[in-house]
Structure 1
Amino acid sequence: MLDEVQAGPYTVRGISVGGVYTSLQVPELEVVLDVGVPVRSFAGTERIFLSHAHPDHASGLGSLLGIRRLLGKGAPQLFLPAEIEAQVHEALAVLGRLHHTSMDVRTVPMRPGDVKPLGHDLHVRAFRTHHSVPSLGYQFLRRVTKLRPEFLDTPPQEIARRRKAGEDLFVAREHLELAYATDTLSKVLETEPGLFDSRVLVIECTFVDPKRPVQDARDRAHLHLDELIAQADRFRNEALVLMHFSQSLAPHDVRALIEERLPPTLRERVRILAPAAGRWFG
């Protein structure tokens, strides 16, 4: 069964266990984030974002494309780190020959700082995450153009005349909506400080047990809950979604430790993407 949380105006649904599988969907943004396992209900989504090519984040891509073919869907957009574009095409070509079927995707190679429009004022900006292989995080944002304050009382006809004359009457503003940062050192919070201001932050938290030293997480290029707690006062997000937990702890233990250890001001905004009871999926 898929896990699902409500984070501000966004629904984050899917499954995520470090080293096993991660695949999430945000239906309000019409995006799938990583494909470590093929989720049937995600197959109709036309935009897929790969953070990196480790199997627990990318190995389900071929199967998801197969499900799309059954549904009569065409090639989806696949946003991915530019460094892995050629290898992904090679891997899909091999799968296509093996299964005698099309594995077509429309790749959108991204580098840190690249911004791509997604339609209806929605954009995505790639940022560097810090992992053992080429990896990216994604910030989804809305760009809204508004009239400058000094022209708010100007009659519409005058606005139209000045605009036609080439005057700069408008200002573009960015609203940081949802950021996705997985498989990364906590260094990402320093290199991408905008994460603290994203309305919703979906971030990995592989290690939550205080008995595991922070250095264990750093040695594996992952995050430890202690590192988030140390910067608790900096998170200005409406909601944070923690995911990608180590399978060394059962879901109820993960939940208990997070709820016990987080300071109250942060705890009330945190959503835990893990089963409410029982074992990890699979």
Structure 2
Amino acid sequence: MIPRQPVRQPRLGCLYLPPYRVEGISIAGEQTVVHVPELDVAFDIGLCPRAALSAKYVALSHGHMDHSAALSYYFSQRNFQGMGTGTVVCHPDLAGPVRRMLKAWADIEGQQTPFTIIEIEPDQELEIKGAFFLRAFKTEHTATSLGFVVIEKRSKLRKDLVGLEQEELMALKQKGEQITRIIEVPLVCYTGDTMWGAHFEREDVLGANILITECTFIEPAHRSRAAVGKHLHVDDLARLVRRTRAEHIVLTHLSRRTNMNSAYRFLEMALGEQDMHRIHVLMDIRRNQERFDQQLDEAQRENEA
């Protein structure tokens, strides 16, 4: 009798949501890493596929193993491949345990891998790339947890100065007057593992163009299980979809047992057909590939026109 072949590893989910790619793997209880290459940040690192190594920053939502297990490997491989020292951004409660974990690995390996740990409190920001900032916010889970929003800060002319001639603006500037104002544009929000809470009232969360959110319990009958684990249920997602202005809503942290066809049926029942065009399931490899192929065809036709 011929034995079965080994179980295949899940493929990397990938979405192109212009101008950003959202790629990674997210399976509830097993592994979650969500990488946005253009922003140099990966959210969580339960697994470290090769693609995630290019992230200069890992924004760690919480310490559960399926979200943090590959952190040591991330640091090690960044160093081994000459990619520079990796950086983890985490809640202060996790900084000490992460240092102790890395000390244990140094003892095991007999060498010290370089690493950087940046502690971040809710509502604090970190400049990650030019005008792009990573902002943390408090979430509600069974462990200390954070969500993150990437904000772009843009300089705009003060509203009361719009219409003035260039010479008048230069004169004001030479007098030392501030003629510009900073506006904040939330680009990408990542909720991590969380139940419903006040963070879903935040303007930077609701205003992000790309919202990456967990929806662990997709079946209507699993409301009580979601409450016990402090996760989102599909009914919570429906509330969120009605409030968010996101053009794209990327669902993560579905169970391996979730059948994709059933998932879309439950989603449409809860959300209504009118919002389904905004919904993307990160691990729906087939649909996401079809979507990418269509984007590729459209781009080629535009180039040929």
TM-score (norm 2): 0.84
Counterpart check, 1:77 vs 2:87? yes
Q: Please tell me whether the aligned partners of residues 178 and 200 of structure 1 are also in contact (alpha carbons under 8 angstroms).
A: yes
Counterpart check, 1:192 vs 2:202? yes
The alignment partner of 1:43 has SS state of helix
Counterpart check, 1:170 vs 2:180? yes
**CA distance in structure 2 between the aligned counterparts of 1:106 and 1:276, rounded to whole angstroms:** 33
Counterpart check, 1:244 vs 2:253? yes
Q: Within 5 Å, give how 1:206-225 maps onto structure 2.
A: 206-212=216-222, 214-225=223-234
Q: Which residue of 2 aligns with 1:280?
A: none
Amino acid corresponding to residue 32 of structure 2 in structure 1: T
**CA distance in structure 2 between the aligned counterparts of 1:101 and 1:40, rounded to whole angstroms:** 22
Amino acid corresponding to residue 74 of structure 2 in structure 1: L
1:95-134 per-residue CA deviation (whole Å, 9 max, x = no partner) reads 1221123332211111111012223211111100111111
Q: CA deviation at 1:204?
A: 0.4
Q: Which residue of 2 aligns with 1:62?
A: 72
1:25-55 per-residue CA deviation (whole Å, 9 max, x = no partner) reads 1012111111101111211221111111110
Q: CA deviation at 1:259?
A: 4.4
> Between Structure 1 and Structure 2, whose CA radius of gyration is higher?
2
Q: Please tell me whether the aligned partners of residues 148 and 170 of structure 1 are also in contact (alpha carbons under 8 angstroms).
A: yes
1:143 maps to which of 139, 153, 169 = 153
Q: Please tell me whether the aligned partners of residues 58 and 87 of structure 2 are also in contact (alpha carbons under 8 angstroms).
A: yes
Q: Which residue of 1 aligns with 2:291?
A: none
1:155 maps to which of 146, 159, 165 = 165
Q: Which residue of 2 aligns with 1:234?
A: 243
Amino acid corresponding to residue 61 of structure 1 in structure 2: L
1:146-188 per-residue CA deviation (whole Å, 9 max, x = no partner) reads 1113323333343233123222321111111000001101115
Percent of aligned positions with the same letter in both sequences? Answer: 26
The alignment partner of 2:285 has SS state of coil
The alignment partner of 1:24 has SS state of strand
Q: Please tell me whether the aligned partners of residues 25 and 33 of structure 2 are also in contact (alpha carbons under 8 angstroms).
A: yes
Q: Which residue of 2 aligns with 1:41?
A: 51
Specify whether residues 43 and 231 from structure 1 end up closer, same or farther in structure 2 by C-alpha distance, changes over 3 A only: closer
**CA distance in structure 2 between the aligned counterparts of 1:150 and 1:133, rounded to whole angstroms:** 47
The alignment partner of 1:236 has SS state of coil
The alignment partner of 2:221 has SS state of coil
Q: Which residue of 2 aligns with 1:20?
A: 30
> Unmatched 5+ residue regions in structure 1?
278-282
State the superposition RMSD in angstroms.
Answer: 1.9
1:224-248 per-residue CA deviation (whole Å, 9 max, x = no partner) reads 1111114432121111101101223
Q: Which residue of 2 aligns with 1:254?
A: 263
Q: Which residue of 1 aligns with 2:278?
A: 269
Q: CA deviation at 1:193?
A: 4.6
Q: Please tell me whether the aligned partners of residues 60 and 90 of structure 2 are also in contact (alpha carbons under 8 angstroms).
A: yes
Q: CA deviation at 1:251?
A: 4.1
Counterpart check, 1:105 vs 2:115? yes
Q: CA deviation at 1:76?
A: 1.6
- Give aligned pairs, total: 276
Q: Please tell me whether the aligned partners of residues 7 and 271 of structure 1 are also in contact (alpha carbons under 8 angstroms).
A: no
Q: CA deviation at 1:195?
A: 1.7
Q: Which has the higher helix share?
A: 2
TM-score (norm 1): 0.91
